Amino acid sequence: MENIFFQATIFLAAAVIAVPIAARLGLGSVLGYLAAGVVIGPVLGLLGTHESHELQHYAEFGVVMMLFLIGLELDPRALWAMRHKLLGLGGLQIGITGAAVAGAAILLGAETPLAIAIGMTFSLSSTAIVLQTLTEKRLMQTKGGRSTFAVLLTQDIAVIPFLAILPLLASQDARAELAEGHDNASGALGFVAEWLHSLPAWGETLVTLGVVAAIILGGIYGSRPIFRYIHGAHLREMYTSLALLIVVSIALVMTVVGLSPALGTFIAGVVLANSEFRHEMESDIQPFKALLLGLFFITVGAGINVDLLFSAPLTILGLTLGLIALKALILFVLAVVFGLKGRDRLLFTLGLAQAGEFGFVLISYSLTQNVMPMETAEVLLLVVALSMLVTPLLFIANEVLARYAVTDAVDDAPEPDDIDEQGPIIIAGIGRFGQIVHRLVSSAGFRTVVLDHDLRTVQLMRRFGVKGFFGDPTRPELLHAAGLAEAKVLVVALDDPEAALKLVKHARRERPDLHIVARAHDRVSVFRLYQAGANDIVREMFDSSLRAGRYVLENVGLSEYEAAQAEQTFYQHDRMTIRELAMLWDPDKPPSENEAYVARSKELQKELEAELLAVLDTRSDAA
């Protein structure tokens, strides 16, 4: 018992110390967990290799829970919509990478069955590390992130046929020895395994399909009655117990029939994705998933065989870097073929270049099936662990290189439209802000020329009858083609504050007499645009916030007229405030550290309060 408490204390202390440090350094929690494992294992010797491998069997359940949660987030229709990426991008990645690694293994002297097993093992990437890092860095919704997720999902599904193929790679003597082991199994699970082994191939297939069908049908028809039954107990912990029961029982059944428990829980999650209890299960399982995944990463770091690494460092590091380089090359080619560009191409290439946690599973299974000798397995386990340790560094490299990928993305962009119209009003940007301006002005009978750098937005607006031109509004030649020399008003409605500032400066240089109406993100953006030469500056949230404040006043005792007067007074005073503070604003100093700015802000706030009280007192006296 003391040993259990000691190990728990070591694990939790290592995580609590290392993970916040890694997070503050921008390295992500995964690298923190891995570093903690290296420190308490090989460095300090607080956890042996045997203990780490034993704990890893339990920690791998965090991966199972993670895939269940991923399934909960996926609508089956969305999964069907991803079929092209799953079969195309994901299938090609697995096939080409597996073949390339197997070929390299044969060249290094491995026999064909062993080479195939190594190829299957290294064709997979780390679902746990990559998905967690994508989520933490908010990259999941990018095109590169979605493509990466599609490949990871395909890889997780591919584990099933891999587990089915591995026994076929063993020699006849090894299969006979394994069959004898099944016959000697004991207990209920051993009886089931022995019975499954005794079935013909078509019988095992039917049992497997029956289990998958039972999971799907149970999720569709059985989940609601069970959850309503649990709801009747009015005990919060029962929801947690049921959620864990679903995941554990499905993992058990899938393991008994020889399938991946991760796939079974993923299927269950997809089936329950449209259930009204989805968010309940998500919140119940999330803490267990996070802790077990952290434990899994710690055991990976603690399980590194330092003696083997130090005995042949160049060989181990060479194999690791060679694997990463080979996978990255294949991923880069696939990214080009499937149209990924710039930052998305980099993310896809570097994010999937490592080996994955399922590599530990396949290597262990290869050992039990006598497909792989122990000496080879120890080297491969070390390569998998080291490549996973390198993964957070690859994401850091992606962030650094992504800064230089912007030029590549611009170079790959479609050619801008030929602008064949000019008008008195130019609207740069047709997003939510620019759309309202365009609708009001054009409905009043005035002709506008619309420019936007987002091709999809321009195409969408054309479907609704708005003729816009695709191109970067900050490019001088496009502005002149749109009629900058003769225009009366320029509306700068761009999302990017830097681009908006650049456009205002250029337009003011070219046309000192042009009236410029600019959209501002915040007060600092107002000051910058004011100094750049904009005439009217509209903070994107100001008017809507002002209207909301008026509604509040109307519902706490003021009449509609009094609230409108207060709103108008506030509006006029704020415009005067912006002009005064713009003269005191220093672009090289934060406003909170500008003493003159802060002092004048306080004075203006007191003046505003006095003005509003005077307006309301006047109305009260008149009443």
At residue 104, the pLDDT reads: 93
| pLDDT, mean over the chain | 80
DSSP 3-state helix, strand, coil percentages of the chain (rounded to 5)? 75, 5, 20
Other beta carbons within 10 Å of 321: 14
Alpha helices in 108-142 (DSSP H): 112-122, 127-136
Percent of all residues in the chain with a pLDDT value above 90, rounded to a whole number:
13
At residue 409, the pLDDT reads: 46
Mean pLDDT of 432-439: 86
At residue 530, the pLDDT reads: 87
First-last CA distance in the chain:
80
> φ, ψ for residue 425 (rounded to 5)?
-125, 125
Which residue bears the tokens 């010797």? 45
Tell me the two tokens of residue 212.
């998958």
* Residue 264 CA: distances (Å) to CA of 115, 159, 220, 243, 249: 28, 12, 15, 14, 10
Q: Determine the Cα–Cα distance for residues 359 and 101; give it in Å rounded to an integer.
A: 14
Closest CA to 392 of 19, 20, 28, 138: 28
pLDDT digits (tens, 9 = 90+) for 238-248: 877 887 888 88
Instruction: Categorize the per-residue pLDDT at 200 as very low, low, confident or very high, splitting at 50, 70 and 90.
Output: low
Select the highest-mean-pLDDT range: 51-55, 391-395, 420-424, 464-468.
391-395
Q: Determine the Cα–Cα distance for residues 622 and 294; give it in Å rounded to an integer.
A: 69
Helix (H, G, I), strand (E, B) or coil at 274: helix
Residue type, 600: R
Alpha helices in 403-452 (DSSP H): 405-412, 432-443
Which structural domains are found in the chain, ordered by start?
A: 1-45 (no CATH), 60-402 (1.20.1530.20), 425-622 (3.40.50.720)
CA 561 distance to own-chain centroid: 49
Residue 513 burial (C-beta neighbours within 10 Å; 0-12, 13-18, 19+): exposed
Q: Determine the Cα–Cα distance for residues 266 and 268; give it in Å rounded to an integer.
A: 5
CB-based contacts of 442-448 (< 8 A; 24+ apart in sequence): 447/423, 448/423
At residue 182, the pLDDT reads: 47
Instruction: Categorize the per-residue pLDDT at 231 as very low, low, confident or very high, splitting at 50, 70 and 90.
Output: confident
Residue 253 has pLDDT above 90, yes or no: no
Mean pLDDT of 595-600: 87
Instruction: Categorize the per-residue pLDDT at 410 as very low, low, confident or very high, splitting at 50, 70 and 90.
Output: very low
Q: Which has the higher per-residue pLDDT, 345 or 591?
A: 345
Instruction: Categorize the per-residue pLDDT at 411 as very low, low, confident or very high, splitting at 50, 70 and 90.
Output: very low
- 246 close to 266: Cβ distance less than 8 angstroms: no
At residue 72, the pLDDT reads: 75
The tally of CA atoms less than 13 A away on the side-chain side of residue 256 is: 19
- 496 close to 518: Cβ distance less than 8 angstroms: no
At residue 190, the pLDDT reads: 59
CA dihedral 473, 474, 477, 483 (to 10 degrees): 50
At residue 302, the pLDDT reads: 78
At residue 618, the pLDDT reads: 62
Q: Determine the Cα–Cα distance for residues 328 and 334; give it in Å rounded to an integer.
A: 10
pLDDT digits (tens, 9 = 90+) for 346-388: 889 998 999 987 787 788 778 777 888 888 888 998 898 888 8
pLDDT digits (tens, 9 = 90+) for 266-318: 777 777 777 767 777 777 777 777 777 777 778 777 777 777 888 888 999 99
Whole-prediction pTM value?
A: 0.55
Ramachandran category for residue 226: left, alpha or beta (phi over 0 → left; psi -120 to 50 → alpha): alpha
Residue 36 has pLDDT above 80, yes or no: yes
The tally of CA atoms less than 13 A away on the side-chain side of residue 599 is: 4
pLDDT digits (tens, 9 = 90+) for 4-35: 777 778 888 888 888 888 777 766 677 788 78
Residue 476 has pLDDT above 70, yes or no: yes
Q: Determine the Cα–Cα distance for residues 330 and 332; give it in Å rounded to an integer.
A: 5
Residue 175 has pLDDT above 60, yes or no: no
**Sequential DSSP letters for 386-418:** HHHHHHHHHHHHHHHHHTTHHHHHHHHSPPPPP
Residue 487 has pLDDT above 70, yes or no: yes
Residue type, 203: G
**Sequential DSSP letters for 591-614:** GGG-HHHHHHHHHHHHHHHHHHHH
